[in-house]
Amino acid sequence: MPEDYEPVDQRTSLRPEEAMEAHEVFEVIARLAPDFRDALVAVDVAGLSYREAAKLLGAKEATITSRLFRARGQVAGGMDRARSGVLEEKG
């Protein structure tokens, strides 16, 4: 990443601690298993419907629902661990 890289969440109105929190959430999302991450990004970040996400990702709607449910739970758990100072290291 170049030195002059501008963070995506750099907003003038954003307090540093808020920027860190958004960054932490994306950090947790980035660490999800790819299938879970893609389902969550498609629906919760991109705003697609379950049907659209299923078609796009080549999975059944029920599978997307399940992956999304698990991914959201893992994000909540990941944030809890991040805030309590427990570091998730990649293997």
Partner 1 sequence: MGDHELHPTDEAAAERGRAIVQAAVAQTRAPLALRERIEADRTARRPARRRWALGGSLATGAIAAIVAVVLAVGGGAGTAPTVAQAAALARLGPTASAPAVDPAHPGLLRRSVEGVTYPSWQDQFTWKASGAREDKLDGRRAVTVFYDDPAHARIGYTIVAGKALDEPSGPGRWQGSEHYVVLKRGQRTIVTWRRGGHTCVLSGPASVPSERLLALASWSGTEVS
Question: Residue numbers of the site for partner 1 (CB under 8 A)?
Answer: 1, 5, 7-11, 14, 16-33, 35-38, 40-42, 44-48, 51-52, 55-56, 63, 66-67, 69-77, 79, 82-83, 85-87, 89-90
Report the nearest approach of partner 1 to the CB of residue 59 (Å).
9
How buried is 53 (Cβ within 10 angstroms: 0-12 exposed, 13-18 middle, 19+ buried)? buried
Report the nearest approach of partner 1 to the CB of residue 5 (Å).
6
Report the nearest approach of partner 1 to the CB of residue 85 (Å).
3
Q: What are phi and psi of 7, to 5 degrees?
A: -55, 140
What residues contact residue 65 under an 8 Å CB cut-off, 6+ apart?
50
